[in-house]
């Protein structure tokens, strides 16, 4: 059954492509744009309306979604030449599902409000698997009425959609969530290297550890991938490095110490400097291996 809201989608990467696909499968009319022409063509093959700019997407949409890598990319997509602001309609809603600096989202929200448009910040967690399976967790900040209006749209893409509060609170919640995830990932990496260097069987150790207090999503899901030497990205290491940078900046703005986050950010920086930024973020173990001069994989 067709849905009343017309949806625009800007950013068709490993997350955005399947997310827009779920919206079309749910019966929404979807217009799309991406910097890569081939990504637009893939979406068009599944029924999307191809557009030449974010402005054109916004002009055809009641709800425009942006899903791009970083704060400057969101700035360009919304406020740049040919951006959403050039085509957006009064009374519509823009949903930024990227992970960016909260202050950037708040500033863009103020500019959109001048044109009678609401901005919801709605970053996601769950990686490419979550995007493909429509099981993403979505943290949402912004106007409550706009959230209620867009909840059916968000529920198509996510298994959990949580309202976090006013403007910027979705982005802030996502950065706090990334601290949790990166800390767990660093713990897995250090534990695996220590265990392997001591002579433990990693598969046995991983299985045993999931049964105790050290259990985590990262251990259960990414631990076996590390052991098998599989580092295809569900979430790229370079994006985790970016998120650690954003979290550290938010902490500075709030005068809230995050010493462990700072160290993990440096480790991801070393990984990116080694040319491994486009591997999965669990490739962090390679930095610990190098430091320990020991391989922690079968």
Spatial separation of the C-alpha atoms in residues 281 and 268, rounded to whole Å: 8
By DSSP bridging, strand 6-10 and strand 136-141 are unpaired
Three-class DSSP category at 189: helix
Q: Are 141 and 170 in contact (CB under 8 A)?
A: yes
Q: Are 142 and 172 in contact (CB under 8 A)?
A: no
225 is catalytic: no
Say which of 174, 196, 238, 242 is annotated catalytic: 174
Spatial separation of the C-alpha atoms in residues 189 and 284, rounded to whole Å: 7
Spatial separation of the C-alpha atoms in residues 267 and 261, rounded to whole Å: 10
34: left (phi over 0), alpha (psi -120 to 50) or beta: beta
Cα of 186 vs its chain's centroid, Å: 19
Spatial separation of the C-alpha atoms in residues 187 and 50, rounded to whole Å: 44
Cα of 44 vs its chain's centroid, Å: 23
Strand extents, DSSP E, 71-117: 93-96
Spatial separation of the C-alpha atoms in residues 202 and 216, rounded to whole Å: 16
Catalytic residue list:
174
């Amino acid at each position: 059954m067709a849905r009343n809201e017309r949806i625009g989608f800007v950013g068709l990467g490993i997350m955005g492509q399947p997310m827009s696909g779920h919206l079309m499968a749910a019966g929404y009319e979807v217009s799309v744009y991406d910097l890569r022409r081939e990504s637009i063509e893939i979406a068009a093959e599944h029924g999307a309306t191809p557009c030449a700019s974010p402005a054109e997407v916004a002009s055809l949409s009641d709800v425009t979604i942006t899903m791009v890598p970083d704060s400057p990319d969101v700035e360009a997509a919304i406020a740049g030449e040919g951006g959403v602001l050039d085509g957006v309609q009064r009374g519509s809603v823009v949903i930024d599902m990227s992970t960016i600096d909260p202050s950037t989202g708040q500033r863009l929200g103020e500019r959109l409000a001048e044109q009678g448009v609401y901005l919801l910040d709605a970053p996601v967690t769950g990686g490419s698997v979550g995007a493909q399976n429509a099981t993403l967790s979505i943290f949402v900040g912004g106007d409550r009425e706009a959230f209620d209006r867009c909840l059916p749209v968000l529920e198509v893409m996510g298994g959990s959609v949580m309202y976090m509060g006013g403007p910027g609170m979705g982005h802030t919640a996502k950065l706090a969530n990334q601290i949790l995830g990166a800390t767990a990932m660093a713990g897995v990496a250090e534990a695996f290297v220590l265990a392997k260097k001591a002579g433990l069987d990693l598969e046995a150790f991983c299985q045993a550890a999931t049964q105790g207090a050290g259990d985590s999503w990262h251990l259960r899901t990414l631990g076996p991938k590390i052991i098998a030497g599989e580092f295809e990205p569900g979430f790229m290491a370079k994006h985790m490095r970016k998120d650690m940078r954003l979290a550290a900046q938010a902490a500075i703005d709030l005068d809230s110490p995050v010493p462990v986050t700072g160290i993990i950010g440096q480790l991801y920086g070393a990984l990116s400097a080694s040319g491994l930024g486009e591997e999965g973020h669990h490739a962090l173990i390679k930095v610990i291996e190098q430091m320990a001069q020991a391989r922690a994989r079968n």
